[in-house]
Amino acid sequence: MNENHTTLKIFCFEGPLVELSARLQLESTKTALKGEEYSVGAAHKKLTRTYKWNYWEYRWTRSEERFIGELVEEFMANTIEPRKEILRGVIATCSAELSIVQYYYSGCNPGIHLSHRTLDTLSYIGAEVDIDIYCLDEDA
């Protein structure tokens, strides 16, 4: 099964993390405060890093064979669109991105299509887009 992650990430904001969650009416799936340490990399060669800013994210993880573009459109409709005015105000004072990540195990030619509506909404709220596709099919 392919594993798909669609995430709203907000960086460099001021104020308590719980206030951001309350304002957006979303329970964060991950948060960090500026100065906190975290690890990256494989277990045998982990590196320690420090958050340079406050960090907040809300993530959907789906393991299914649907096109990731469909999942992104669903995330936009359920998460971003209803909050676009609030998000625009929040992002005006910090940075944000829509992160789209797929761990691709089966099927052919992974790709992502983003509709005009999605692109217009992301532009309106001031969010950037980051896309990563990891093709992990052993037969390929």
DSSP letter (8 states) at residue 137: -
**Per-residue model confidence (pLDDT) at position 138:** 64
- Residues 71 and 52: their CA atoms lie apart, in Å, by 30
Assigned domain for 140 exists: no
Place of tokens 């799936």: 29
* 74 token code pair: 């669903």
- Residues 83 and 38: their CA atoms lie apart, in Å, by 30
| pLDDT tens digits, one per residue of 26-67 | 999 999 999 999 999 888 999 999 999 999 999 999 998 888
**Per-residue model confidence (pLDDT) at position 139:** 60
| pLDDT tens digits, one per residue of 106-135 | 766 677 889 999 999 999 999 999 999 888
- Note the Cα 17 to chain centre separation in Å: 17
Domain count, the chain: 1
Has residue 96 got a pLDDT over 90?
Answer: yes
- Residues 76 and 121: their CA atoms lie apart, in Å, by 9
| Mean pLDDT computed over 8-35 | 95
Domain residues for the domain of 30 are 3-135
CB 23 within 8 A of CB 88: no
70: nearest Cα among 102, 95, 26: 102
Identify residue 116 by its one-letter amino acid code: H
pTM higher than 0.85: yes
Assigned domain for 15 exists: yes
Has residue 105 got a pLDDT over 90?
Answer: no
Q: In DSSP terms, which residues pair with 62 in a beta bridge?
A: 4
Helix 116-125 with 84-91: angle, nearest 10 deg: 40
CB 103 within 8 A of CB 3: yes
CA distances from 20 to 34, 43, 87, 94 (A): 15, 32, 10, 12
Q: What is the dihedral of CA 17, 18, 21, 25, to 10 degrees?
A: -170
